Amino acid sequence: MAFNSFGNLLRLTTFGESHGVAIGGIIDGFPAGVKVDFDAIQKELDRRKPGQSAIVTQRKEPDTVQFLSGIFEGVTTGAAIGFQIQNTNQKSKDYNHNTNVYRPSHADYTYDKKYGTRDYRGGGRTSARETANWVVAGALAKQLIAHININAFTSSVGDIFIDKPYQELDFSKTDDNIVRCPDAVSAEKMIAKIKEIKKQGDTIGGTITCVAQDVPVGLGEPIFHKLHAELGKAMLSINAVKGFEFGSGFCGAKMQGSEHNDVFTEGGKTETNLSGGIQGGISNGMDIYFRVAFKPVATIMQNQQTIDADGNITEIHGKGRHDPCVVPRAIPIVEALTALVLADFYLLNKTRRA
Amino acid sequence: MAFNSFGNLLRLTTFGESHGVAIGGIIDGFPAGVKVDFDAIQKELDRRKPGQSAIVTQRKEPDTVQFLSGIFEGVTTGAAIGFQIQNTNQKSKDYNHNTNVYRPSHADYTYDKKYGTRDYRGGGRTSARETANWVVAGALAKQLIAHININAFTSSVGDIFIDKPYQELDFSKTDDNIVRCPDAVSAEKMIAKIKEIKKQGDTIGGTITCVAQDVPVGLGEPIFHKLHAELGKAMLSINAVKGFEFGSGFCGAKMQGSEHNDVFTEGGKTETNLSGGIQGGISNGMDIYFRVAFKPVATIMQNQQTIDADGNITEIHGKGRHDPCVVPRAIPIVEALTALVLADFYLLNKTRRA
Amino acid sequence: MAFNSFGNLLRLTTFGESHGVAIGGIIDGFPAGVKVDFDAIQKELDRRKPGQSAIVTQRKEPDTVQFLSGIFEGVTTGAAIGFQIQNTNQKSKDYNHNTNVYRPSHADYTYDKKYGTRDYRGGGRTSARETANWVVAGALAKQLIAHININAFTSSVGDIFIDKPYQELDFSKTDDNIVRCPDAVSAEKMIAKIKEIKKQGDTIGGTITCVAQDVPVGLGEPIFHKLHAELGKAMLSINAVKGFEFGSGFCGAKMQGSEHNDVFTEGGKTETNLSGGIQGGISNGMDIYFRVAFKPVATIMQNQQTIDADGNITEIHGKGRHDPCVVPRAIPIVEALTALVLADFYLLNKTRRA
Amino acid sequence: MAFNSFGNLLRLTTFGESHGVAIGGIIDGFPAGVKVDFDAIQKELDRRKPGQSAIVTQRKEPDTVQFLSGIFEGVTTGAAIGFQIQNTNQKSKDYNHNTNVYRPSHADYTYDKKYGTRDYRGGGRTSARETANWVVAGALAKQLIAHININAFTSSVGDIFIDKPYQELDFSKTDDNIVRCPDAVSAEKMIAKIKEIKKQGDTIGGTITCVAQDVPVGLGEPIFHKLHAELGKAMLSINAVKGFEFGSGFCGAKMQGSEHNDVFTEGGKTETNLSGGIQGGISNGMDIYFRVAFKPVATIMQNQQTIDADGNITEIHGKGRHDPCVVPRAIPIVEALTALVLADFYLLNKTRRA
């Protein structure tokens, strides 16, 4: 079953609670012979880490990854790659008030009912801290498929949307601002919006768009391992995600076939790309692009009604240091999972012809 | 790997091309002791079968399922359940013109590039005929989790949407009309729209909403087997699907935490249900609901530019008998996959406490 | 989980009871582009089929395999390969006496206790008829790894052993006699022994040795997918198998390191091969050889004490047509599973270097 | 695929090289609500650790396990259980002479050929140090199935065998001597033998017998997850193992059905137990017993011919501190894997009836 595993040939298995000793994981099936760029991995972790800007949580965690195996003299050996990230800054006392109370729209209630017990400190296993593990594995996967370019960016915050197609954006500008939106005008509005929301002790949702370019034709497997289905599952595994669409997405459901079909041109390219780079579950060489919806963070600095473990109505008031909007720090997570999915299918595809 | 398998403890593996001898599958992990209602299974197949109404493909296939093993004297034995559906009405000559030509927005091109060969007759393995296998398995899964009610319905065709929340609909009316929309007024408009589109030799997209009720608390596994992530993957596996959202979905990405949070009331219920019945990947006992976007069918009865296998520009004109809108026949498919996912998690959940 | 599945990248899933409509399976992950030799597959099935000689069961079943998908114009397409074998000669009345009685050393009792029900006709799912499915898949796998030579043969029946190392045998002679022992002198004794045992209404055990030659270096994965561990699991999955040893096997446990070590010579070959062609779970290019122990068939034509489903002591007398010794018909089964394991690792090994 | 994972519902994934920072693993699927006895786990590790007696390697490693997640206030939470064991005593310089030379009957050659690279320090990933991870997971699994008694012991060293059936042994005496043989007379001879062999700079093989008692009826799954096949695969995964037999084993292959069949008596027990507690792959409630063959350790303190990485003939002389016989320290490993297999099937069996 492997509840805590992701992927097939390239497989990440993880552990760790927000306030335990450490989080970490094991990357299985990573091929031998890849020279590892450790700085690139740490850089991705830094993009995800708390405390990096005024519009994210002010918790400070260095999030330094330590590799424990599978890499020898800087090169992967084909053996399992173990790694861990120490938990250094757990203010457990911030969470003591949650011991016996179910935070609305968190997973406290469902964990308690399912398991009969839970590690309530900082959300325990449900904490998005887990995603740091994914970023490590994804950053490594990127190095396996270095010929593929993966770029995610903030495409909306609340009702502020970039009003351009992604083709008009310069992805090299994504990290130029703290909201990670490559359109400077929209970015400014988004940042202002998040600051205003934060001041209210409230939170806000947003969307991330991800584009994978230079993907070879043939990645993905038909029927139950379609490329977009695995990407969708990956994105829906991220905390706070409520929706996934690729190519024409939900808009495609309003269209007619005659306008939606991607007409072939020479060389197997298509004039339009409403298919989103995937046909029949298999990459066709065009850009793969998709959009991911994130709900507003559930922890707010306002009073909310809730219940305690005995079912009594009570009130809760958010404490601690939380993100007013999860989207800026989720960019590297979206990219990491995309890389893991593509790298897995890249390896699989080596076995599909005799 | 199991490219053609779906599920974990309850696992469906399938085979079959549109124009081969038969399609079929093996259902593994189905518990012993379930008295099988064969009529209920055939009834679901009939909801999916071609030729059932004026707004679907006019192909005629009886789609009769034959069980080959795993059921003895009408009761499941715990052994693998083999089944097949004969292919009886394959007008292969309808497809001969596609031998060497890539149909736009189909999977002809990607299969050819990936495998170096393909069964071009009626789409071969890429045909949505495969979904008949899923309906068989899903109908059986429904009988394992008979206490859960699963209702899917057409929520939009093109730009015609039901303008009511699902709570105001009577699911017992879904099959009262051929478009399978429980709102009679919308249904009429949708049917008219599809007929008009069909007359143009065109096709149109739509959305399906699915609601699972009376789901016990605790189904789903955190991290990489979240209930909504598996549902999303399942839905994205259906031919023509471009998007998936659950609970507040993409709308949730525009909201603030203070309006999005589902406040607890007594007994663990919540006042609102923007979470869509799932928190932290685990069912919380509220209704699970989600929405699936289907693009318009790619085969249209109009001339389209395309290329042949040698890369030369050519023209294609759809022949054969195709659906102008895939949504009405996809209702039982959405329900079937939902049942498979929930039944799988239902079994898994038996093992999560000592 | 996939209780009825075998293999990883190349994966066989099966169904079928001895006296159901048909048995069959789905071969998943078989690469595209292999031209299928159907005669070679049927020939392997014929080596396994009942009624082929005086020393095996006299049941007559043609065991003709029908492929249903995944092969187009004689070539594999990369899609799931479905197949079935009709059950044509089920004398169910032979088995009616077993309805309520547990045959000693069969699986009647354990199935009933585990599942609360069972298909008692001819052993149902527990019948070795299932192995016909394996022979089909294995014969196909052989065609994927045609550069590897796999030869199994009867190395003992009761206390009659071939008294030569396998290197002195001519595998092309294995099928020259009905017991499938390439040593003519031993073969004669074995055949006489089986005939004598049969006359007594009794059965007898034996061993099969299998040799895989021209295996490339590098097949197998360390830790939990060691090549010999997968081979062992495969062999122990065959009905009636009680033991597995490879290379020096149980004899190796009596030896000293200085005599057991395989000293390297030029080109990476070794002087001796007590390792059995596998070191650290990975093939080293030398012959892989192993031995499999089969217990005597449990169904005997003699009176035996037993109990019925209510726990009452009763007596049973074997009826029907059974093998006095399972070994001659198990030769193609051992080869088939060996081919499946090697083909799976052959595919996997394509992904282990960047 | 999960090359480094073992088990299905209860699943261990591991990492670590002999001379890396640490080894460790993740236990997935362990149910919530088990109060952990940490001392019992450390005690099993101590039974495996080097330096514990005069007849094992004199390396000193404390082998202290640290749990990192999945256990809260001493009770399992249902979340992934991460753990690690620091490597504290790696005399890497002992191994420098092996950098470029392939040790006979080790995995140096096969790793190099397969991966194109290897961590040569102390065998790297091929080191039996990995089995410490298994002992941790197995000791935890024992606590989940505390009603089952698992006892392994040394049944032979070289040609010295216990000459009694296991029923006449007192398992509480196994740890009374350093060779872990519950028969004091045999133990003395075995110890003398190992000391003599060690003096010669040589090594010697042996066998371990394992008995699982009070196993409930119904564990194991037919076809490809037979209980004995999984046990066999587990045992064959242990470094140096060359063979596995259960129940009558290889002796059964010499017997006749009339003597081999286990006749039922009242209550479903059997008079004899040549089946070894498993029929049709499923436990029948009788004792499960099996025997595992270990070859002599490959590292000897004598000169041996070998080749270097360039294929040149050279000579090697074992250095470092190695076991003269692996069997005494392998007892807890055999028990650990047995516990993991049984616990996995125990969980699975909760799902096999509706």
DSSP structure string for B267-318: GG-BSS-TTTTEETTEE-SSPEEEEEEEPPPS--SSEEEEEBTTS-EEEEE-
Residues B187-217, buried b or exposed e (16+ Cβ, 10 A)? bebbbebbeebbeebbbbbbbbbbbbeebbb
Give the distance from residue C298's alpha carbon to the nearest chain B alpha carbon, in angstroms: 22
Query: CB contact, 8 Å: D225 with chain B?
Result: no
Q: Does A311 touch chain D (CB under 8 A)?
A: no
Query: What per-residue confidence (pLDDT) applies to D267?
Result: 87
Are the Cβ atoms of C230 and D232 closer than 8 angstroms? no
Q: Which amino acid is at A79?
A: A
Residue A93 pLDDT > 80: no
Q: In angstroms, how far apart are the furthest CA atoms of chain C?
A: 67
CA distance D351 to chain A (A): 13
Q: Which tokens belong to A283?
A: 């990459």
Q: Could you tell me which of C166, C196, C197, C193 has the C-alpha nearest to residue C182?
A: C166
Which of A155-159, B135-139, C164-168, D264-268 bottoms out in mean pLDDT, i.e. has the lowest? D264-268
CA distance A102 to A315: 10
Neighbours of D162 (CB within 10 A): 21
Tens digit of pLDDT for each residue in A31-46? 999 999 999 999 999 9
- Amino acid identity of residue C290, one-letter, is F
Question: What SS3 state is found at D114?
Answer: helix
Our measurement of the distance from residue C65's CA atom to the centroid of its chain's CA atoms, rounded to an integer in Å, reads 18
- As a whole number of angstroms, the distance between CA A294 and CA A188 comes to 20
CA angle A290, A294, A296 (to 5 degrees): 165
Instruction: Break chain A down into helix, strand, coil percent, rounded to 5.
Output: 35, 25, 40
Mutation choice for C interface testing from D261, D272, D286, D297 by most C CBs within 10 A: D261
So what's the pLDDT on residue A92?
A: 55
At C1 the pLDDT is 60
Give the distance from residue A347's alpha carbon to the nearest chain C alpha carbon, in angstroms: 6
Tokens 């009836």 correspond to D353
pLDDT at D98: 66
Cβ–Cβ contact D40 with C under 8 A: no
Q: pLDDT tens-digit profile of D75-119?
A: 999 999 999 999 986 655 555 556 789 999 999 999 999 999 888
Report the gap between the CA of A59 and the closest CA in chain B (Å): 20
Alpha-carbon distance of A175 to A181, in angstroms, equals 7
Chain C residue with Cα closest to A348: C351
Please answer yes or no on whether C117 and B3 come within 8 Å at the CB atom: no
Write down which chains contact chain D via at least 3 CB pairs under 8 A.
Answer: A, B, C
Cα four-point dihedral sign A41, A46, A48, A50: positive
Residue D119 φ then ψ, to 5°: -90, 105
* Distances D219 to B78, B288, C61, D270 between C-alpha atoms, Å: 13, 35, 33, 17
What is the Cα–Cα distance from B240 to B331, expressed in whole angstroms?
Answer: 13
Q: Is A185 exposed, middle or buried (0-12, 13-18, 19+ CB in 10 A)?
A: exposed
pLDDT band at A96 (very low <50, low <70, confident <90, very high): low
Q: State whether C351 and A350 contact (CB < 8 Å).
A: yes
Half-sphere exposure of B223 (CA within 13 A, CB side): 27
Residue A115 near residue D77, CB atoms below 8 Å: yes
Chain A, chain C: beta-carbon pairs less than 8 Å apart: 48
Nearest to D155 by CA among D169, D144, D142: D169
- What burial letters (b/e) apply to C233-261, b meaning 16+ CB within 10 Å? bbbbbbbbbbbbbbbbbbbbbbbbbbebb
Residues of chain B with pLDDT under 50: none
Q: Cα D35 from chain centroid? A: 25
**Amino acid identity for residue A189 in this structure:** K
D residues 55-74 closer than 8 Å to A (CB) = 66, 68-70, 72
Beta bridge partners of D316: D304
With CA atoms as reference, the chain B residue closest to C86 would be B68
Chain C residues within an 8 Å CB radius of D256: 158, 197, 202-205, 296
Do B88 and C42 touch, CB atoms closer than 8 A?
Answer: no
Alpha-carbon span A324 to B181, nearest angstrom: 39
Task: State the residue for tokens 């997971």.
Answer: D137
Q: Bridge partners of D12?
A: D6, D27
Separation between Cα atoms, residue C156 and residue C169, nearest integer Å: 14
| A270 Cβ under 8 Å from any chain D Cβ | no
C236 vs D: CB within 8 A: yes
Least Cα separation, residue B225 to chain A (angstroms): 6
Q: Check residue C93 and give its pLDDT.
A: 59
D309 part of contact set with chain B, CB < 8 Å = no
Residues in chain A: 354
Asked if the C-beta of C344 comes within 8 angstroms of chain D's C-beta atoms, the answer is no
Model confidence, pTM: 0.97
Per-position pLDDT tens, chain C of length 354: 679 999 999 999 999 999 999 999 999 999 999 999 999 999 999 999 998 998 998 888 889 999 999 999 999 999 999 999 999 866 555 556 567 899 999 999 999 999 998 888 888 999 999 999 999 999 999 999 999 999 999 999 999 999 999 999 999 999 999 999 999 999 999 999 999 999 999 999 999 999 999 999 999 999 999 999 999 999 999 999 999 999 999 999 999 999 999 999 988 999 999 999 999 999 999 999 999 999 999 999 999 999 998 889 999 988 777 899 999 999 999 999 999 999 999 999 999 999
- D248/C contact by beta carbon, under 8 A: yes
Tokens, residue B37: 């209602």
**ipTM of the complex in this document:** 0.97
Burial code of B36-68, b = ≥16 C-beta within 10 A, e = fewer? beeeebbebbebbbbebbebbbebebebebebb
Q: For residue C127, give the nearest of C68, C83, C85 by alpha carbon.
A: C85
Residues in chain A with CB shorter than 8 Å from the CB of C345 are none
Size of interface B-C (CB pairs under 8 A): 172
Q: Which residues of B touch D146 (CB under 8 A)?
A: none
The pair of three-digit structure tokens given for residue C95, joined into one six-digit string? 């088995």
Chain B residues with CB inside 8 Å of C9's CB? Answer: 1
Determine the distance in angstroms separating the CA of A259 from the nearest CA of chain C, rounded to an integer: 31
Helix (H) or strand (E) holding D175: none
Say which of B8, B28, B33 has its CB closest to residue C4: B28
The average confidence (pLDDT) of chain C is 94
Give contacts of B 198-217 with A, CB under 8 A: 200, 202-207, 217
* Contact: D250, C257; criterion CB under 8 Å: no
Nearest neighbour of B3 by CB, restricted to A5, A225, A242: A225
- Other Cβ atoms less than 10 A from the Cβ of A313: the count is 12
